[in-house]
């Protein structure tokens, strides 16, 4: 039996034992994990320093190094996130519905853990602790497979978190990591149908696609966002400008940032120039269609190709297209969008209603920035990721995304005719 399969079998044993733990026991484990991170931060920071040194030697880009780096302040913040998790209500055991059937059977549908959750993610050590915490909260065993650049950090974090959890009564094997950084190990993890209940990839489009193409286990796709802001003819121009600039510039590298701007032909000549100017002032490069470029006197606009309509820049870049009206805008978004977050700016009631109904996305906005698509902003308390698929969970995922249900039926000898 391979190491990865053995890991998954241990996780199943742990999951069966976790199903019998109480809310209090799991919350105490989270507090122990939170405490452990701070108490043993020296070994964590030392391991992280080795990762950073190796990454620097490989000429790793600065933003990646930044995401990889741990500091005492960051460890403290990760530790506090685990403490906050302990304070959230427990979704496990919730009776979702129930009734006495005509034959006298007392039927209930209750919320239960998924079982074995696997996470595949990039070189971000904070995800290691987040994922472990979310899984312990929901009584799931977790198998972690982080990016190879963070391997030393992840090993130290997993050791500290698992020993704190086990030390406060959680079963051995509840938090494990895949030791091998080979691609083969990741592929094996994705193939363990029947042993892994859900696999959640977190990272860029390439990682997500690799998982979708290779996985034989159930997957929740997360986080690729080609988000649009559509400025309708009846928009308040100044509001449109503020929303576009916020959606693009407040944090251009995240999935809920706007990547494309659509403007109605009826108003583009007056409404678009100040928006383009504001984007230019913010340092954004615009890739425009012919009509947008005809406004080029305002700023230098790059020509947009067909590819631009489908591109998630994750950068200070935006595509811009003049559309004939609501029909074309909805059609364009449903064709090129990734079904993440989409916004219309309008004061027209009927246009707002049609946009909300007909745009196919996890989150659809009227007169607000796409940047609000976030578990914290939506009041979910904690977030595992943002699902862009329709199965199981859609949009920001809170704790319930790590749960499933079970029918329990209490009878007194009933048989079926």
Residues lying near a copy of itself in the complex (CB under 8 A) are found at 16, 19-20, 99, 101, 105, 107, 114-115, 193, 197-198, 212-213, 216, 218-220, 236, 239, 242-243, 246-247, 250, 334, 352, 356-358, 360-369, 371-373, 377-379, 389-392, 394-396, 404-417
Q: Which is nearer to a copy of itself, 60 or 389 (CB)?
A: 389
Residue 332: name the closest of 230, 205, 233 by CA.
Answer: 230
Q: Is the dihedral of CA 168, 173, 177, 179 positive or negative?
A: positive
Q: How far is the CB of 10 from a copy of itself (least distance, A)?
A: 14
Q: How far is the CB of 117 from a copy of itself (least distance, A)?
A: 10
Q: Is the dihedral of CA 342, 347, 351, 357 positive or negative?
A: positive
d(CA 175, CA 154): 12
Q: How far is the CB of 33 from a copy of itself (least distance, A)?
A: 24
Residue 339: name the closest of 369, 380, 370, 379 by CA.
Answer: 370
Q: What is the DSSP string of 294-335?
A: TTTTSS--EEPPHHHHT----SSEEEEEEESSHHHHHHHHHH
Q: Which is nearer to a copy of itself, 84 or 99 (CB)?
A: 99
To which H or E segment does residue 214 belong? helix 205-214
Give the DSSP letter of residue 262: E
Q: Which is nearer to a copy of itself, 153 or 369 (CB)?
A: 369
Supply φ then ψ for residue 6, to 5 degrees.
-60, -40
Alpha helices of 58-182 — where are they, by DSSP H? 62-68, 72-87, 125-137, 151-167
Q: Which is nearer to a copy of itself, 213 or 270 (CB)?
A: 213
Q: How far is the CB of 393 from a copy of itself (least distance, A)?
A: 8
Q: Is 144 in contact with 154 (CB distance < 8 Å)? A: yes
Q: Which is nearer to a copy of itself, 15 or 45 (CB)?
A: 15
Q: Which is nearer to a copy of itself, 14 or 150 (CB)?
A: 14
Q: How far is the CB of 384 from a copy of itself (least distance, A)?
A: 14
Q: Which residues contact 162 (CB under 8 A, 6 or more apart)?
A: 132, 174, 175, 176
Q: How far is the CB of 137 from a copy of itself (least distance, A)?
A: 17
Q: Which is nearer to a copy of itself, 21 or 79 (CB)?
A: 21
Q: How far is the CB of 211 from a copy of itself (least distance, A)?
A: 10
């Amino acid at each position: 039996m391979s190491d990865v399969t053995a890991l998954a079998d241990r996780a199943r044993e742990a999951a069966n034992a976790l199903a019998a733990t109480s809310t209090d026991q799991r919350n105490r484990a989270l507090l122990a994990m939170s405490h452990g991170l701070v108490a043993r931060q020296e070994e964590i920071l030392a391991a992280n320093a080795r990762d950073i040194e190796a990454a620097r030697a490989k000429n790793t880009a600065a933003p990646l190094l930044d995401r990889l780096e741990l500091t005492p302040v960051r460890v403290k913040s990760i530790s506090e996130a685990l403490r906050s998790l302990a304070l959230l209500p427990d979704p496990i055991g919730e009776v979702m519905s129930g009734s006495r059937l005509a034959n006298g059977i007392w039927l209930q549908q209750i919320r239960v853990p998924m079982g074995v959750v696997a996470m595949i993610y990039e070189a971000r050590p904070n995800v290691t602790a987040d994922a472990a915490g979310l899984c312990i909260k929901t009584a799931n065993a977790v198998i972690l497979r982080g990016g190879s650049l963070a391997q030393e950090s992840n090993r130290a974090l997993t050791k500290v978190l698992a020993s704190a959890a086990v030390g406060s009564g959680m079963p051995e094997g509840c938090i494990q990591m895949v030791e091998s950084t080979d691609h083969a190990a990741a592929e094996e993890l994705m193939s363990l149908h029947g042993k892994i209940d859900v696999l959640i990839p977190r990272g860029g489009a390439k990682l997500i696609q690799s998982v979708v193409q290779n996985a034989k286990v159930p997957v929740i796709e997360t986080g690729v966002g080609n988000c649009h802001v559509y400025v309708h003819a009846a928009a308040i121009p100044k509001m449109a400008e503020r929303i576009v600039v916020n959606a693009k510039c407040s944090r251009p590298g995240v999935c809920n940032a706007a990547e494309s701007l659509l403007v109605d032909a009826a108003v583009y000549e007056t409404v678009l120039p100040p928006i383009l100017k504001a984007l230019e002032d913010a340092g954004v490069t615009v890739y425009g269609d012919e009509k947008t470029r005809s406004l080029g006197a305002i700023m230098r606009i790059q020509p947009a190709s067909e590819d631009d309509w489908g591109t998630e820049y994750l950068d200070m870049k935006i595509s811009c297209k003049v559309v004939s009206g609501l029909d074309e805008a909805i059609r364009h978004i449903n064709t090129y969008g990734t079904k993440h977050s989409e916004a219309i700016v309008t004061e027209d009631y009927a246009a707002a209603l049609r946009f909300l109904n007909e745009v196919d996305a996890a989150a659809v906005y009227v007169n607000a920035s796409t940047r609000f698509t976030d578990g914290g902003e939506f009041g979910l308390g904690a977030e595992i990721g943002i699902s862009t698929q329709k199965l199981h969970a859609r949009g920001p995922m809170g704790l319930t995304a790590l749960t499933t249900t079970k029918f329990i039926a209490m009878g007194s000898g009933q048989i079926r005719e």
